[in-house]
Amino acid sequence: MTSVEPDRETVRTAITLATRAPSIHNTQPWRWRLGDGSIHLFADRTRQVTATDPNGRDLTVSCGAVLHHVRVALAALGWATAVHRVPNPAVPDHLASLELTSYDPTDSDVAAAAMIARRRTDRRRMSDWPVSPDHLERIAGQVRAHGALGIAVVDPAARFALAGAIAQAAVIQESAPGYTLELATWTGRARASGDGVPAANIPARGRHDDPDTRRFSHGTLAPHTGKRYGQQTELLLIATSGDDVLSRLRAGEAASAALLTATGLGLASCPLSQPLEIADTRRRVRDHVLGGTAEPQLVIRLGWAPTSAAPLPATARRDVDDVIAASGE
Ligand SMILES: Cc1cc2nc3c(=O)[nH]c(=O)nc-3n(C[C@H](O)[C@H](O)[C@H](O)COP(=O)(O)O)c2cc1C
């Protein structure tokens, strides 16, 4: 291994690909600074959706997802990364610094990076094919490999408690001041804005809505044709032992690994954060789904899209130069 620095174009390419990471309401709440042979990730709190995510959990989890994505992208481009998370406690928004060393990418590095472009958040109903325990275990294994707990919520009582928390959170949020307006602000935006959740990725409201997914307005995505009953979804809960910035960042990295693995297996996926955005429903998930032993950070809904499902369009992203700080900034 040599330690020659990557050129700026390589780093820009990696960040461009990483920016495909999922983020709450597609806010892309991150900023990058480039050093000599290093890259620094910062939280961009100006993009926090405060009515949805008052304490910034979703923002930090989103940054964890982009951190994992950039490592996957760099590995495929021939750069290994040593990561220092929250390297300076005096600057809590400096979430990670990455030192790069040249490296020979493996086939699996390249295959993982290819999943970045293929992954989509799919909010439509799933088909009635079950997700096999082997697939769930492979995805949960990736969560564990990234320092978090990945729990497939299959026990009926736990599943009932989680579904109840999701439904209760929706009711509470929809009557909270500012929530509906904030959601409307971030949905159905013009593509040129480079952010937000487009109408084309939101199912049109109807009697076949999935009760577990967030109720966005303005959706134009047609429901699947064909059978509309008996969908099989699995809910994977990502949790950590603590609930500080580092724990949330790691949860985001683990979520990213889970989503890319699910995409590689051909599964449809959708992150769900709603039940964890309200203190009461989050407590309910912690106590009744996790037995009070861990801190829930994100739910991922998994299933098989019906074979008739139309491919989902890619959501927009901000220009890479808008997320890389100019030198001296
Ligand atoms: C921390 C986090 C929380 C999210 N919460 C939800 C959610 O509750 N409901 C939902 O439909 N999508 C949720 N998403 C998915 C984002 O809306 C999605 O990633 C974004 O719109 C970009 O679209 P894409 O994932 O298809 O690229 C969440 C994503 C992240 C990273």
CATH label of the domain that carries residue 287 = 3.40.109.10
Q: Position of tokens 């995805």?
A: 139
Stretch 118-144: mean pLDDT, rounded? 96
| Residue 137, domain member (yes or no) | yes
H-assigned helices in the chain:
8-18, 57-76, 107-118, 133-145, 156-174, 179-186, 245-264, 279-288, 320-323
pLDDT in the model for residue 1: 45
The average pLDDT across 4-13 equals 92
Whether 226 is covered by a domain: the verdict is: yes
Predicted local confidence at residue 192, as pLDDT: 83
Domain count, the chain: 2
Q: How far, in Å, are 30, 61, 89, 97, 186 from residue 21 at the CA level?
A: 11, 11, 25, 18, 17
- In which residue are the tokens 């407590």 written? 283
Say what the pLDDT of residue 8 is: 92
Q: Are residues 252 and 291 in the same domain?
A: yes
Q: Is residue 125 in some structural domain?
A: no
Residue nearest to atom 3 of ligand 1 (CA): 24
Rounded to the nearest integer, the mean pLDDT of the chain is 93
> Do 217 and 89 share a structural domain?
no
Ligand 1: atom nearest CA of 274 is 8
Residue 1 falls within a domain, yes or no? no
Beta bridge pairs of residue 246: none
Average of per-residue pLDDT across 58-86:
98
Reference 25, options 224, 324, 316, 322; nearest CA is: 316
Which pLDDT value is given to residue 189? 81
User: Is residue 16 located within the same domain as residue 99?
Assistant: yes
Which domain-ending residue is among 81, 97, 119? 119
Range of the domain at 100: 8-119
As a residue count, the chain comes to 329
Say yes or no: 181 and 282 in one domain. yes
- Per the model's pLDDT, the better-predicted residue between 86 and 215 turns out to be 86
Residues 6+ apart with CB under 8 A from 197: 25, 26, 186, 187, 188, 189, 216, 315
- Residues 144, 289 within the same domain: yes
- Predicted confidence (pLDDT) at residue 183 exceeds the cutoff of 80: yes
* Pocket of ligand 1 from Cβ distances under 6 Å: 22-26, 58, 61-62, 65, 120-121, 123, 197, 213-214, 270-274, 298, 315
Q: Are residues 193 and 264 in the same domain?
A: yes
Ligand 1 atom, smallest distance to 65 CA = 31
Q: What is the pLDDT of residues 160-180, one digit of tens each?
A: 999 999 999 999 999 998 999
Residue 308, domain member (yes or no):
no
Give the residue, 252 or 221, on which the prediction is more confident.
252
Round to whole Å and give the CA distance between 210 and 111.
31
Mutation to probe ligand 1, out of 238, 273, 281, 299 (largest number of atoms < 8 A from CB): 273
| pLDDT band at 91; cut points 50, 70, 90 | very high
User: How confident is residue 226, by pLDDT bands cut at 50, 70 and 90?
Assistant: low
> Residue type at 231?
Q
Asked if the model's pLDDT at residue 121 lies above 70, the reply is yes
pLDDT, position 5: 87
CA 62 to ligand 1: nearest atom:
31
Whether 138 and 176 map to the same domain: the answer is yes
